[in-house]
Structure 1
Amino acid sequence: MSPDFLPPQFIPTEQIFNLRDVGGWNGADGAKVKSGIVFRSDNFGSATAADLDRVVNELGIRHVIDLRRHEELEATGRFPEIDSVTFHHLELLHIKWELIGVDYPSGSAESEIVRFLRHRYSGMLEAGYQSISDSLDVIARGEPVVFHCMAGKDRTGILAAVLLSILGVSDDDIAADYELSNVGIARWRAYRDATWGKPEIDGGLSTPAEAMRQTIAEMNDRFGSLENYAIAAGFNKADLLRERLLE
């Protein structure tokens, strides 16, 4: 999708495909989540100089949270070392999906994709609790920050869900924010096809809103709320987060 026709949450970029503002959603007590403070993204391995200039100088990003595994950083590179930006490698631990022994439901009905993703996401939240807590601590500083994984949809989507839930955003709006990654996926695939050619089998899954709704429902059933989950994970700055990120 051309940058001229992106949904308003997206930041127009050349070769970052899923960079968008987490703000703008309705939050607790009639407040709104501030825009221009917290961003979510895919990785920056293909970013152009103009893209990085936009991130650092236009958005004013001061913290980059990378949720990926070490080998993923080595394969595509980390965010460049820039004096004004603090880099945080906070790997969100999880068992690699390809090792679980369950068929990858590419091309399956949406209900099968939702079931597959819900199971993986609840596992990520359980195994990756320390990354979630540490990432929220960085975000609670109230300084412009971007967090990302590879495609900016799964690990990034989980952290965004916990953050937005603490800020009082409704489950449906959190799921809508998550589903926007379908736009980023489409942009990446268009770039890939034009650059390297379209593969015979198109790997990767879509981001149906129902997958996030069911994940939230499962965590609410287990912990009472995503905020309670974050507290159990060691995060104790929910009030500060709301103070700094709601308006």
Structure 2
Amino acid sequence: MSLIDVTDRLKPYGSIYNFRDFGGYSGLGGQSVRTGVLFRSAHLNGLSEADQAEIDALTIGTVVDLRHAPERKRQPSKWPENEARAAVLTQPVTPELAAATVAPHEAFAEQSLYSAQDARDYMTTSYRNRPHDAGFMALFSDTLTRMTEPQVDQGEGVLVHCAAGKDRTGTLVALIQGLLGVSDGDIMADYMLTETAVDIEAFLEPAAAMFSQRYGRTIDADSLRPMFGVEPDYLSASLEAMGDMERYAVDTLGLDGAQLDRLRARYLTNGHTA
């Protein structure tokens, strides 16, 4: 169950979409996941100085940018490039990925998106494949390792983000929450909060016009809706692909029991959630 009100969970920053606290749920052994240390959001390309000043108060020591290299190049993060402020983790760039000019979901939209069912099938498949994709596995492992290091000098706070803060972010956040003992129902409810945090409908018509012009063919708003929104079946595909999360973290991502103990000691509390 959620231990904090949704108004305390959502952070209405003017320059960042979908910024919210993903702590504050019941966790392992009657403990609760701490609030004020675990955050998720959309990309930081539009980050304003005013919002940066407010976010600085959150003592975020790790920023996890789940976007692909072409996205990071096109919309570079405005998070200060200062290792003393926070470590920024990204996917390792292989020669194959370095040669890509667009992210996989962008290539799909250009080449294969003609209907809402096309989009829904793509989304479900991408969620299913993500937990065993080499790049995401490496970044998931790096993130959890960073979160379990004995000392995080810049702060214990973690910000996980991708482009919209819902898909790639949703999979990693679900893993972190699952390792902390958050129930499947609460993991799903947190994932679906994108529908509350973002006015998805407001993006559809402008995006359809932009894509139609860019690709030289008509792409209507209805065909984009499955890509811009969230659906339970999407996250369920990632959860099923991971299976038992502790076993996935150990056998697939290479963590050990001591690291998981440190993760839980750091981000679970027996008292107040903060």
After the TM superposition, which residues 67-216 of structure 1 pair with which residues of structure 2 at under 5 Å, given as runs?
Answer: 67-78=66-77, 79-82=79-82, 84-91=84-91, 96-99=104-107, 103-104=112-113, 107-108=116-117, 113=120, 115-127=121-133, 128-141=136-149, 143-186=156-199, 190=202, 199-200=208-209, 201-202=220-221, 203=224, 204-216=227-239
Aligned residues: 231
In structure 1, give the amino acid aligned to 2:267: L
Distance 1:30 1:104, change over 3 A: farther
Larger Rg: 2
Q: Is the 8 A contact 2:130 2:238 kept in 1?
A: no
Question: Counterpart in 2 of 1:234?
Answer: 254
The verdict on how the C-alpha distance between 1:218 and 1:147 changes in structure 2, with shifts beyond 3 A counting, is closer
Letter in 1 for 2:231: P
Q: Over residues 136-171 of structure 1, what are the superposed CA-to-partner deviations in whole Å (9 max), with x where a residue is unaligned?
A: 112234711211111111111111011111001111
Shift of 1:29: 1.0
TM-score, normalising length: structure 2: 0.73
| Structure 1 contact 23–33 (Cα < 8 Å) conserved | yes
The aligned residue for residue 27 of structure 2 is 27
* TM-score, normalised with respect to structure 1: 0.81
% identical equivalent positions: 29
Deviation at 1:83, TM superposition (A): 6.0
Q: Deviations over 1:177-227 (max 9, x none)?
A: 11112234427x74x69xx9564344433111232134313432xxxx022
Paired residues for 1:16-55 under 5 Å:
16-55=16-55
Q: Residue 90 of structure 1: CA displacement?
A: 2.0
Change (3 A) 1:87 1:116: same
Q: Which secondary structure state, in structure 2, belongs to the residue aligned with residue 43 of structure 1?
A: coil
| CA–CA distance in structure 1, aligned partners of residues 81 and 36 of structure 2 | 22
CA contact (8 A) 1:90 1:135 kept: no
| Structure 1 residues 77-117: Cα deviation after superposition (integer angstroms, max 9, x where no partner) | 122224642232322889813556994476449xx83x543
- For 1:7 and 1:108, the matched residues in 2 are separated by 34
- Preserved CA contact (<8 Å) 1:162 1:227: no
The CA RMSD over aligned residues, in Å, is 3.0
Give the superposition deviation at 1:52.
0.8
Instruction: Please list every run of 5 or more consecutive structure 1 residues that lacks an aligned counterpart in the other structure.
Output: 1-5
Bigger CA drift: 152-161 or 85-94?
Answer: 85-94
- Aligned equivalents of 1:31 and 1:158: distance in 2? 23
